[in-house]
Amino acid sequence: MDAKNEWKKLLAIIAVFIGCFYLPIGFDRFNSAVTESLYLVKWYAREHVLLCLVPAFFIAGAISVFVSQASVMKYLGAKANKVLAYGVASVSGTILAVCSCTVLPLFAGIYKMGAGLGPATAFLYSGPAINVLAIILTARILGLELGIARAMGAIVFSIVIGLVMHLIYRKEEVEKANNQTAMPDTVLQRSLTQTGVYFASMVGILVFANWVRPTTNVGIWFQIYSAKWIVTAILGLALIFMLAMWFKKAELTQWVGASWGFAKQILPLLLGGVLIAGFLLGRPETEGIIPSAWVTTAVGGNSIWANLFASVAGAFMYFATLTEVPILQGLIGAGMGKGPALALLLAGPALSLPNMLVIRSVMGTQKTIVFVLLVIVMATISGIIFGAFF
């Protein structure tokens, strides 16, 4: 019996017991925070698991089963052409335009298949941050200058963060590249066109099923929103046809197994993180254990502290796609400076507490801390500079 481990277990039990013994049941704010955490996880389960995460799990499973490791290493691997690798990573994120949690299965898929740390983290940031509809909505509601700054900042961030992550772990990446010996492409069971159409249908289902209603009932965005379920149904039927005609039963079993593997790894951490985030910060328009007045007071003006606080608060909060815009509209109306507003826009959609927990399970504690700190520091500096001019 390991005495050290037994002492750790004993201390953990004592800590849990003390926490239970002094649990502040009966205090209104604590009771409200618990309720908010449950409301948030209920909303998350209803709005994001079926339409966002399930399609993302199947796409990630398909990447791990049907995309050859040689192809991933060719375009995103440690030895890949840097311009091509970071271009592919940032463009992929722009096309997907998913939230900070939905991007995780896709990130885990390409990273485990051999993608370099730099391109993988560039993709991880760009997926939720470079959202064309969110940037347009930001410009219309919060002002053109914030919309342009958000677009430029998000694109620059994705590339810079990827490059810095690569440089910090350069030795490890060089070793990884040396270990990635030239691999022949696997024998293709389908043509490249068939594979492309298959993946495009799944990405289309993910994008259109989660298309958010725009603020006005006119324009191309509303027309797409009005037809989103028709388009999703057509893509779903096309996917079923492709699965029946182009895939063997053994391949489909392997695909489902890989998708289930990602779900087991990611979903419990996400739901646990959403519970904690709801307890601490509540939902939009409501409060958790931390009073919203504290947040509003802390982000006024354009001081270093205000920008840093906005970056940190945004990094830990959970924003569903586009919800950051009305939240910021309310905060700006309550006195939030434009610098902290940009800092929150650049840190918030790309990160969240649930997101961090899953990233840690994929690439480890140290790399996760470095990634989060890069986002927070860059968002803070960007906010300070933007606030000085506007």
Q: Could you please report the per-residue DSSP string of 88-155?
A: HHHHHHHHH---TTTHHHHHHHHHHTTB-HHHHHHHHHHHHH--HHHHHHHHHHH-HHHHHHHHHHHH
Residues in CB range of 65: below 8 A, 6 or more apart: 251, 254, 255, 258
**pLDDT over threshold 80, residue 190:** no
According to the model, what pLDDT value does residue 307 have? 93
CA terminus-to-terminus distance, the chain:
64
Name which of 177-181, 216-220, 315-319 the model is least confident about: 177-181
CA atoms within 13 A on the CB side of 383: 34
Average pLDDT over residues 225-251: 91
**Residue 167, number of CB atoms within 10 A of its CB:** 10
Task: In whole angstroms, give the CA distance from residue 301 to residue 307.
Answer: 9
The residue among 38 and 213 whose pLDDT is bigger is: 38
pLDDT of residue 168: 93
Q: Where are the domains of the chain?
A: 26-178+248-389
- Asked if 234 and 241 count as a contact pair (C-beta separation under 8 A), the reply is no
Question: Which has more pLDDT, 148 or 292?
Answer: 148
pLDDT tens-digit readout, 195-209: 889 888 998 888 888
- Coil/strand/helix, residue 300: strand
pLDDT in tens, 258-290: 889 888 877 887 788 788 878 887 776 677 887
Amino acid at 145: E
Q: Could you give the angle at the alpha carbon of 376 between the alpha carbons of 370 and 381, nearest 5°? A: 125
Tens digit of each residue's pLDDT (9 = 90 or more) over 87-105: 877 777 666 656 667 788 8
φ and ψ of 336, to 5 deg: -70, 135
| C-alpha to C-alpha distances, 332 to 211, 286, 292, 335, nearest whole angstrom | 26, 17, 13, 5
Contact 355, 160 (CB under 8 A): no
**Where in the chain does DSSP place strands (E)?**
none
Cα distance between residue 83 and residue 81, in whole Å: 6
The whole-number average pLDDT for the span 63-77 is 73
Mean pLDDT of 231-253: 91
The number of residues making up the chain comes to 390
Per-residue model confidence (pLDDT) at position 346? 92
Longest CA–CA span in the chain (Å) reads 70
25-49 pLDDT per residue, tens: 888 888 888 888 888 888 878 877 7
Give yes or no for a contact between 287 and 295, defined as CB atoms under 8 angstroms apart: no
Which residues are 291's β-sheet partners? none
Which residues, at least 6 apart from 153, have a Cβ–Cβ distance to it below 8 Å?
342, 345, 346, 379, 382
Percent of the chain, pLDDT > 70? 89
Instruction: Give the C-alpha separation, 312 to 343, whole Å.
Output: 9
Distances (CA, A) of 310 to 26, 197, 328, 351, 380: 31, 41, 11, 13, 8
Mean pLDDT of 364-388: 94
Contacting residues for 179 by C-beta, under 8 A, at least 6 apart: none
